[in-house]
A and B are shown apart, each in its own frame.
Chain A
């Protein structure tokens, strides 16, 4: 029998954050929501994240940033994906993101931002509903 559709997601931490507790919690939580989550660890460059997203053929890229460099790093990922012709991948973000930055990020192609305290169920539902590929 053909496999049911399984959502594949890359969770990545661009930049120089010192810990990845949040990313790990999300990795486990989304696994329990039935997703295949590829976790690549701390201190990734946007270039590495894009390459991993392509090779793993993911449906979703989740970016987490705590350091305040999200405006630069998240955008870099979105732009490099676009430059490689990858337009059907959902990009979402999380971490410590000031409210006033959210409209800017959304305008640049980050579909949603989930801050600390967001229930995992909410994130999972958003992904399942919004994922671009069928």
Chain B
């Protein structure tokens, strides 16, 4: 794991290579993660989400500038969708972040969602950890611009910022499950456009009707990211939210929850990968699969055949013993 050592020493190419490995969900990921684990827990993760064209990339760009000015190092993960048809993707978040390309304190990585559903690649958590271990003070994650189903981001980061624009519809749109519930901070961007103040007031009223927590009143900010207006205020609110989280051990409780979910997820994934590999090599079980495909047997009875198959487990055990 020379790559990991080099990354921990601050080598950016090694970080880039490791991200690729995590993105591919290669078998080495478990080893990498366990090796970097002692170095985790120092970075603060901020998610930026909202509908497409709302100015998320520009906001991330300007927020990064503010954080850099205060002396913090920043990691940026920009997510864009993969085509379900070709598997390809156009990754274009970087284009708005030109001013940081040559800054050693900023590392930008674009990620395609690949075969994950929703606005976030499922490997993003691993990439967040790599950036944390690399020593970033803040990591900003920009989701795909989807709008109503981006609940995953809330689980992956500490503070979730939802960016809306006046054109995105009235506040009723945000009442529908999703954005209203996940936001720790709202930003109405492009606030020089008509309807911005109205949307902000409406949002604020709605949030007061139903406060998210007794310890945090979700603020509604207005901003014009492209003109650098409202960015400093956004940074201050992120810091305030962080302090509120840290008070009374809320952050450590959250992290506990995340670790628990992560543990179960890793095990699930490991078992699934292993099991499918065993099934693939078992002629009889593959026949089972064919029958299901042909509609000759139903998936439920066929799955029972696999789940109660003792030879499968014996092969697994034998494999483990061989691996020592």
A98 to B19 Cα, complex, angstroms? 39
Contact B86 A33 (CB under 8 A): yes
Contact B24 A5 (CB under 8 A): yes
Contact B112 A36 (CB under 8 A): yes
Q: Does A28 contact B (CB under 8 A)?
A: yes
Chain A interface, number of residues (Cβ within 8 angstroms): 31
A5 to B107 Cα, complex, angstroms? 23
Provided the pairs A34-B88, A57-B20 are in contact, do residues A84 and B13 lie with their beta carbons within 8 angstroms?
yes
- B49 shortest CB reach to chain A, Å: 21
For chain B residues 88-131, which have a beta carbon within 8 Å of chain A?
88-92, 94-95, 98, 101-102, 107-110, 112, 114-115
Q: Does A119 contact B (CB under 8 A)?
A: no
- A2 shortest CB reach to chain B, Å: 5
Contact A34 B273 (CB under 8 A): no
Stretch of A40-48, A64-72, A101-109, A110-118 with 4 or more beta carbons under 8 angstroms from chain B: A40-48
Provided the pairs A31-B89, A38-B94, A51-B102 are in contact, do residues A2 and B25 lie with their beta carbons within 8 angstroms?
yes
Contact A38 B110 (CB under 8 A): yes
Contact B109 A56 (CB under 8 A): yes
A1, A3, A39, A85: the one contacting B23 at CB < 8 Å is A3
B12, B87, B114, B273: the one contacting A55 at CB < 8 Å is B12
A31, A32, A36, A84: which has the most chain B beta carbons within 10 Å? A36
Provided the pairs A51-B101, A85-B13 are in contact, do residues A2 and B90 lie with their beta carbons within 8 angstroms?
no
* Residues from chain A with Cβ under 8 Å of B108 in the complex: 52, 55-56
Contact A48 B88 (CB under 8 A): no
For chain B residues 192-249, which have a beta carbon within 8 Å of chain A?
none
Contact B109 A31 (CB under 8 A): no
Q: Does B276 contact A (CB under 8 A)?
A: yes
Q: Which residue of B lies closest to A59 (CB)?
A: B20
Q: Does A6 contact B (CB under 8 A)?
A: yes
* Residues from chain B with Cβ under 8 Å of A34 in the complex: 86-88
* Residues from chain B with Cβ under 8 Å of A41 in the complex: 95, 98
> A-B contact count, CB below 8 Å?
93
A3, A28, A40, A47: the one contacting B102 at CB < 8 Å is A47
A8, A39, A54: the one contacting B12 at CB < 8 Å is A54
* Residues from chain B with Cβ under 8 Å of A31 in the complex: 83, 86, 88-90
* Residues from chain A with Cβ under 8 Å of B90 in the complex: 27-28, 31, 37, 39
A8, A32, A39, A57: which has the most chain B beta carbons within 10 Å? A57
Contact B24 A55 (CB under 8 A): no
Q: Which residue of A lies closest to B96 (CB)?
A: A41
- B226 shortest CB reach to chain A, Å: 15
Interface bits A58-99 vs B (CB < 8 Å: 1, else 0): 000000000000000000000000001110000000000000
Q: Does B169 contact A (CB under 8 A)?
A: no
Q: Which residue of B lies closest to A3 (CB)?
A: B24
- A5 shortest CB reach to chain B, Å: 7
